[in-house]
Amino acid sequence: MSEILEAWLRRSIDCACGQRHELPIRRIIIERDAMKQVAGYVKEAGFGEVTLIADVRTYQAAGEKLRELLEAAQVKVSISVLRENALGEVAADEEAIVQVLLDTPLSSEVLVAVGAGTVHDIVRFASHRTKRTFLSVPTAPSVDGFASVGAPLIVRSFKQTIPACAPEAIFADLAVLAKAPQAMIAAGFGDMLGKYTSLADWSLGRLLLAEHYCELSARLTLEAVELCTANLDEIAQRTDLGLRKLMEGLILSGLSMLLVGHSRPASGAEHHLSHYWEMVLLQQRRRALLHGAKVGVAAVLMAQRYEALQGLTAGEAAARLAQSQAPSELTDAERIRQAYGDLAEQVIAENYPANSTAVDAQALKARIIEKWGDVQDIARAVPAPEQLMAWLEAVQGPVTPEQLGVEPELVEASLQDALFVRNRFTILRLLRLL
Ligand SMILES: [Zn+2]
Ligand SMILES: [Zn+2]
């Protein structure tokens, strides 16, 4: 059991933010041989039949062993090994979801995700919609989505986050995590570094648009990323301590999303860039890149923009705001149609949902000028881009778009149009007014 995480199990919190937060996760084990505890948990909960969902690699890395452990404890096990698509990868899309539904016997009571982010997203959705218990066995500390509630799925080539459920219990076996490829460990660390910019984006939304903000959730998210940066050397050397701290950070970040019921604390413009790159790669039928690798690189790009904000005086900001053209539904729709092709109508609906009032651009500009000092305080809280780069380098993660395999044209396009991926206020939405 992890001490840091234990405090957040099965909690119900009447929060100062005005919301009542529910944390339904019952057990989180991060240790060597954590997998050995799955069978006991299943039997204790009164279940007799489970389905393991994995891909070819994660079945070998952990699924097979878990199956033996469960069968030795007289638990009936069925297996769903997710098929790869034409590009040789498993995606969290319609095909994978249907495969899980077809592979799961009606009598199966529990779905166990044995894998990294993608497998978890598929199982999170399938278990939620079929009302089966969801257990998590991560095979790599690669993403902060293990504990979270939303399932980012690709439906008709559009990446969207569908509300689903958190796992009831997480069994992170350090012996399994220790065998994860370095790129996946670096990706987990990159996903965490993105919290610095996502938290700043959330603060901007709170400051400028009076968006709901939860201090507790924001504090947990910051604690999560600092757990990782404070243990950088251990993580870089892949020690048990380092892997445990990274996993704790990832799960804690997931819990901070669970608290508020959405991904706002942990996902800002750096994630929108990442999603944009992912969709373009998908449209061009190119191989997917690791989520956290994209987020780490995008976080550096966003930190550069926060750094530039610090150098802008209130007078300069006011002059730019006076000159900039305020976006309207009409001009945005035109831009989205140019940038998003077949996906444009869905993206327009995301940005301009029916029955919602659009942001008053003039009022927003006035507020930015009025609160410029606070905007700069938010910008100053983001670590320098060089710092983020040094951290990424230390874990051998990609630092630049070039190292990641994202070409300059795509970076340029995303800086213009990724803000439309989600209807959330971020540094990119601030910058288009400046
Ligand atoms: Zn992420
Ligand atoms: Zn709260």
Contacts of 227-234 spanning 24+ positions with Cβ under 8 A: 227/4, 227/252, 228/189, 228/192, 228/193, 229/193, 229/391, 232/391, 232/394, 232/395, 233/394
pLDDT at 145 (0 to 100): 87
- Closest C-alpha among 269, 262, 64, 296 to residue 192: 296
* Centre of ligand 2 from the C-alpha of residue 153, in Å: 27
Q: How many Cβ atoms sit within 10 Å of the Cβ of residue 333?
A: 17
The H-or-E segment that residue 94 falls in is: helix 94-103
* Centre of ligand 1 from the C-alpha of residue 316, in Å: 34
Contact 276, 203 (CB under 8 A): no
* Centre of ligand 2 from the C-alpha of residue 256, in Å: 9
* Centre of ligand 1 from the C-alpha of residue 305, in Å: 20
* Centre of ligand 2 from the C-alpha of residue 243, in Å: 29
- Closest C-alpha among 158, 162, 129 to residue 148: 162
Q: Which ligand is nearest to the CA of 189?
A: 1
* Centre of ligand 2 from the C-alpha of residue 7, in Å: 16
> Could you read off the pLDDT of 224-252 as tens digits, one per residue?
999 999 999 999 999 999 999 999 999 99
Q: Which ligand is nearest to the CA of 214?
A: 2
Distance CA(333)–CA(116), nearest Å, equals: 36
> Could you read off the pLDDT of 235-294 as tens digits, one per residue?
999 999 999 999 999 999 999 999 998 899 999 999 999 999 998 998 898 999 999 999
pLDDT at 86 (0 to 100): 84
Distance CA(282)–CA(107), nearest Å, equals: 36
* Centre of ligand 1 from the C-alpha of residue 295, in Å: 7
* Centre of ligand 1 from the C-alpha of residue 111, in Å: 23
* Centre of ligand 1 from the C-alpha of residue 271, in Å: 6
Q: Which parts of the chain have pLDDT scores under 70?
A: 1
* Centre of ligand 1 from the C-alpha of residue 35, in Å: 25
Residues lining ion ligand 1 (Cβ < 5 A) are: 191
Q: Which ligand is nearest to the CA of 11?
A: 2
pLDDT at 1 (0 to 100): 63
Residue 244, SS3?
A: helix
pLDDT at 156 (0 to 100): 85
pLDDT at 342 (0 to 100): 87
* Centre of ligand 2 from the C-alpha of residue 352, in Å: 27
